[in-house]
Amino acid sequence: MNCIQPKAPMTPATKGVYCSECGTQLYWTSRESWAVNLDDELARDIWDIRRLGCELPPGNTLYKLNFTHIFQPWLQTATKTFIKLSLSTLSASTARCRLTSLTKFSRFLKAHHPEITPEQISRTTLIDYFAYLASSGLQTSTRTHLIVDLRTFLDLCSQNKWLPVDTYLIRREDCPKPKTIIPRYIPDYVLQQLKTHLAPHHAHDASTNGVRHADL
């Protein structure tokens, strides 16, 4: 049986509407219904990526990008440009992760370098940030993602003149090395105890099997 269409056009406000026949949730996905001024949208501090033409899977409600937690105006402006580029070349989830990485860096600057300007970002600043991440209890993989995203951002800022920062501030060796899992071997004396304990059982099994074969 076909689903009954809603009587009124669907809008963002109709989120959570269900078909009266089959119970399927209906989603509003029409881009043409958005009357968007792109410049006005990008000037906001909270973006709705659906209004920027990004496709999201049905049911995905993570469509907001929040720049209000980037406290430095110069960093927020450059981050918006960076995320705008990311949305045009990569997935929305990747852009969101990059925004999270820069939000983390902004919080570090606010706490430890509150008066810093982009010209003052140096290797010393970043080494302080790496130590801050190392002491935060984050997983090695998470720290690596944060550092790689920041490196990409700073490199693009330098290349595209978004910020007056030096080139190659972050290097490959700055990423934390994954922990090497060292196998734990059983000590020789424990192995000897195991052999001593298991020897009578092996002898019993061998004799039992021999009797059975003889009986056959």
Q: Which residues contact 160 (CB under 8 A, 6 or more apart)?
A: 81
- Residue 133 CA to residue 148 CA, distance in Å, equals 13
pLDDT recorded at residue 21 = 63
Residue 12 and residue 33 in contact, taking contact as beta carbons nearer than 8 Å: no
Q: Does residue 184 fall inside a structural domain?
A: no
Q: Does residue 17 fall inside a structural domain?
A: no
DSSP assignments along 43-92, one per residue: HSSEEEGGGGT----TT----EEE-TT---HHHHHHHHHHHHHHHHHS-H
Question: Strands (DSSP E) along the chain, which ranges?
Answer: 17-18, 25-26, 46-48, 64-66
Q: Does residue 215 fall inside a structural domain?
A: no
Q: Does residue 116 fall inside a structural domain?
A: yes
- Residue 100 CA to residue 92 CA, distance in Å, equals 12
**What is the chain's pLDDT, residue by residue, as a tens digit (216 residues)?**
445 444 444 444 444 555 666 655 555 544 444 456 778 888 899 999 888 888 777 777 788 999 999 999 999 999 999 999 999 999 899 999 999 999 999 999 999 999 999 999 999 999 999 999 999 999 999 999 999 999 999 999 999 999 999 999 999 999 998 876 666 767 777 777 777 877 666 555 555 555 444 454
Q: Does residue 153 fall inside a structural domain?
A: yes
pLDDT recorded at residue 181 = 63
3-state helix, strand, coil in the chain (%, to 5): 55, 5, 40
Query: For residue 174, which of 124, 99, 114, 106 has the smallest C-alpha distance?
Result: 124
Q: Does residue 11 fall inside a structural domain?
A: no
pLDDT recorded at residue 207 = 58
pLDDT recorded at residue 208 = 57
Q: How many domains does the chain have?
A: 1
Residues 48-94 pLDDT 10s: 988 888 877 777 778 899 999 999 999 999 999 999 999 999 989 99
Overall pTM surpassing 0.85 (yes/no): no
Query: What residue numbers bound the domain in which 156 lies?
Result: 40-52+61-177
Q: Does residue 107 fall inside a structural domain?
A: yes
Q: Does residue 31 fall inside a structural domain?
A: no
